[in-house]
Chains A and B, each alone.
Chain A
Amino acid sequence: MIYLRRIVQLLFLALFLFLMLYPEPAKNVIPANLFFISNPLLVITTIIASRTLQLAFLASGLIIIASIFLGRVFCGWACPLGTTMDLFHRLKKPRKPDIQPILPPLRRVKYFVLLTIIIAAIFGANIAGWLDPITIAFKSFALSLYPAVDYILKGLFNKVGLKSFISPLNDIGILDTHSILFHNSIIFFLILTVILLLTFYQTRFWCRNLCPLGALLTLLSKWRILNLSTGRHLCTKCQRCQSSCKTGVFNSDFSLNDEECIQCFSCVKECSKTGISIGFSKDKSVRISILPSRRGLLVASGLAVLSAPLLKRSFGLRLGQSLPRLRPPGVSRSEGEFLSKCQRCGECMKACPTNGLQPLLAESGLYAMFSPVLVPRIGNCRYYCNACGQVCPSHAIPDMDLADKQEWKIGRAYFDTTRCIPYVNKEHCLTCEEFCPVPEKAIEHYVKDGLEYPYVVKERCIGCGLCEKVCPVQGLAAIRVSPPKDAEL
């Protein structure tokens, strides 16, 4: 069973990476955002926070049903972050039996995390994406590790003159010719590193103590039918179950916290007498629940209630509105509405072929953290692309037809004639006009004394940012896209 589990885990991790790397999301039969649309935590918080229901979310039913009947199988068998932790933990050698502390108070933290997320969602703030394991895994893999690997491989292959080796990969969109980088994405790597290092203290530290998705699945699985049973008459008190269990289900007095069980079958394999089994009958072992007490919950809810307005008001939604950013095409003109739907998952940033979509940090307020923003100087919005809408799991970025996307005004370009080469240096340039991709160019020029001076025709500009990207002026471009004011639309 344990081998089967490992294979399934690896398959899910492979699927996760495959979907992450698959270059043309729309052409794939498996939706690129599968792991997100089937993630109950994200689905529930997004529905609550944005007050919208979407058909794609039905996919989460699978995990919900599986958890109701089988417990936290998702954690043990499918979660890519969990698998990564398991793989990482194998590095710890020699694996002599060590019995890890159970620490019930720490374990309750995850319920409070979940509670805070849900209450924030009730107040319209969607913050699940900061702490959800799938989004953590995706961001660290796609936005941090992938660019690093890309950089190393490209450098290596180019040095060794093996360009021809990567070009077939190029053809399918991996290791593409342009380099990929994300603003401060090392943060995601650090988050992952901390989670992984904590496994040296307790295996699956994150899953036991912090994971809000784990907490949700535990709650769902209260009446599960797949149970752990210990054959007490066989027990030799060898304690191998205690040391092998990934989530600390076995207490030292052999009572069980089996609501935490992730059905990983390690104990079944390790038990010297194979007295432990996982099956559909429940034995009479003493079971201890570590759900938080009612009083704890009340106090925590009170605090969480406070946290939502705190986040939304003082930490930045206001600021976010006064400092609007260039959002991906098609998103709500209201920052608040957009942020209530955006799961901060990073799918759009990975999908954006120009690398223009970047994660915000605190520039637009803490509340907008990790939401996508278009940075034209890094990458423009490609005229022939609508990838971000295709992968966005919560339709915070709508899935628009290409033709509609091509008309969507992300913003509007303005010339900075104190920097623009013809205006300042009296030299020819017109690079922006040359590149402007709209059929009826949004940049035109007039000629004075034999020199071409460009200007923007505002009705035609879609704010794609290509002009800003290619402007030859160093540093701040001489043409820059600003978010549109409603009046200008």
Chain B
Amino acid sequence: MKDINRRQFLQSLSILGIGAVASGYLPIHGQDKPEDKKPDEKKPDSKLVLAVVEGKKPAEITIEALAILGGISKFVRKDSVVVLKPNIAWEKPMELAATTNPEVVLAIARECFKAGAKKVKVVERACNNPKKCFQICGFENAFNKSGVEFVHLTDDHKEYKEVKIPDGKELKSILIAKDVLECDTFINIPIAKHHGLAKLTLGIKNLMGITGGKRNELHHLLGQKMADILSVIKPHLTIIDAYRVLVRNGPTGGNPKDVAFVGKVIASTDIVAADSYACTLKPFSLEGKNISCVKAAYDSGLGEMDLSKIDIIEKKI
């Protein structure tokens, strides 16, 4: 029952629109009583906040970005189950910027534990061998004894649950990992990098890693399909690792020359806003509307793409 309610809730959330999200109002522990959440509860004066922190240490800037959003305890309650979704899809050492920096993920996991989370899971359906990705990308070393559970999703359909997409334009249903559907807080931690088909892969595209079934079937009209998926499974928090970014030959990379140092972490409750900002990072110099996933999500009313409407708080440490 829990996930049905949750699904309904997520739907109603998307109807509530960004305003509710912007007010920092989050569906934690409220999933069982979605009827509580009325649009009039939103604080009209609050603006959508986007935190951008620059610095030399990945963990430090991550924690700072969380602090700007009001601290992780706003999103993670005591005894809750948190799912983190970094990108650990490719067997490449983290220096090559094909996968999320483990230090960023670890910093978030530690914050979640501090906030009293009962369980922190890292969920990913890798493209290469998941165990090897886990080792080569530096997660095995970094997460040794961290208490974080790693869920390496496979092709096994039992690991997923079919979710209907009532408002889907291109997709009518999608398989989504049960671990994600059943968690209390879902935090999306992509890395910003180049991608041949999507141009850039950021927060929205990163959600592909929690879907089951034949994923390459999503490639046709990728942007709209990802927006459809986003409409049913919205992360509570999106934290984009732009510490090192991959500028060319993505999403796999491999050439150190293609990696640019940016030293930033971008965090927001609005995935579209975070993605839209990440497009404008120097090495990419694009705009949200250039990226099909971001554009389609915005057009479907799933978030804010217009940076002028977002309260961007930048900080350097």
Contacts and interface: CB of A to CB of B under 8 A. Distances in A.
A353 B132 contact: yes
Given A429-B216, A470-B216, A435 B196 contact: no
A428 interface: yes
30 contacts: A158-B156, A158-B158, A176-B131, A177-B154, A354-B129, A382-B91, A383-B91, A384-B132, A384-B136, A421-B220, A427-B220, A428-B197, A428-B219, A428-B220, A429-B216, A429-B219, A430-B219, A431-B219, A435-B252, A437-B90, A437-B252, A439-B249, A439-B253, A439-B254, A440-B254, A440-B255, A452-B196, A452-B197, A472-B214, A472-B219
Interface in A416-462: 421, 427-431, 433-441, 445, 452
User: Which 8 pairs show the lowest CB-CB distances between chains A and B?
Assistant: A439-B254, A439-B255, A427-B220, A472-B216, A431-B216, A430-B197, A433-B196, A428-B220
B254 A437 contact: yes
Interface in A373-409: 382-384
Interface in B232-278: 249, 251-255, 258
Nearest to B197: A430
B131 A177 contact: yes
Interface string B150-189: 0010101010000000000000000000000000000000
A361 B86 CA distance: 43
A171 B131 contact: yes
Contacts of B197: 428-430, 433-434, 452
B221 interface: yes
B190 to A, nearest CB: 15
B253 A384 contact: no
Contacts of A170: 131
Interface of A: 158, 170-171, 173, 176-178, 353-354, 382-384, 421, 427-431, 433-441, 445, 452, 470, 472
Contacts of B222: 428
A470 B215 CA distance: 10
B45 to A, nearest CB: 42
A431 B251 CA distance: 11
A178 B132 CA distance: 12
B40 interface: no
B216 A353 contact: no
A170 B128 CA distance: 16
Contacts of B255: 439-440
A177 B251 CA distance: 23
Given A158-B158, A177-B154, A434 B129 contact: no
A430 B131 contact: no
A354 to B, nearest CB: 7
Given A430-B219, A441-B249, 4 more contacts: A158-B156, A427-B221, A435-B252, A439-B258
Nearest to B93: A384
B195 interface: yes
Given A440-B249, A440-B255, A472-B214, A430 B91 contact: no
A58 B307 CA distance: 71
Chain A contact residues, majority secondary structure: loop
B130 interface: yes
A436 to B, nearest CB: 7
A138 to B, nearest CB: 24
Interface string B123-155: 000011111100010000000000000001010
B35 interface: no
Contact of A428 (B136, B195, B221): B221
Contact of A178 (B129, B196, B251, B253): B129
B217 interface: yes
Given A434-B196, A434-B251, A472-B214, A353 B129 contact: yes
Contacts of B219: 428-431, 472
Contacts of B253: 439
Contacts of B196: 430, 433-434, 441, 445, 452
Contacts of B91: 382-384, 437
B132 A177 contact: no
Contacts of B195: 434
Given A384-B91, A452-B196, A470-B216, A177 B252 contact: no
A185 B154 CA distance: 25
A421 B197 CA distance: 14
Contacts of A158: 156, 158
A478 B121 CA distance: 37
Contacts of A437: 90-91, 128, 252, 254
Contacts of A427: 220-221
Nearest to A427: B220
Interface string B81-112: 00000000011000000000000000000000
A164 B131 CA distance: 15
B275 to A, nearest CB: 19
A452 B197 CA distance: 8
Chain B CB count within 10 A is highest, among A421, A428, A435, A440, for A428
A440 B197 CA distance: 16
B244 to A, nearest CB: 15
A179 to B, nearest CB: 10
A316 to B, nearest CB: 34
B252 A434 contact: yes
Nearest to A426: B220
A385 B128 CA distance: 12
B216 A177 contact: no
Contact of B127 (A421, A428, A435): A435
Nearest to A354: B129
Contacts of B132: 353, 382, 384
A77 B135 CA distance: 40
A63 to B, nearest CB: 36
Contacts of A440: 249, 254-255
A435 B254 CA distance: 12
A270 B197 CA distance: 76
A429 B217 CA distance: 8
Contacts of A434: 127, 195-197, 251-252
Nearest to A466: B128
A386 to B, nearest CB: 13
Contacts of A430: 196-197, 219
A448 B214 CA distance: 26
A429 B220 contact: yes
Nearest to B127: A435
A382 B252 CA distance: 13
Contacts of B158: 158
Contacts of A433: 196-197
Contacts of B129: 176-178, 353-354, 382
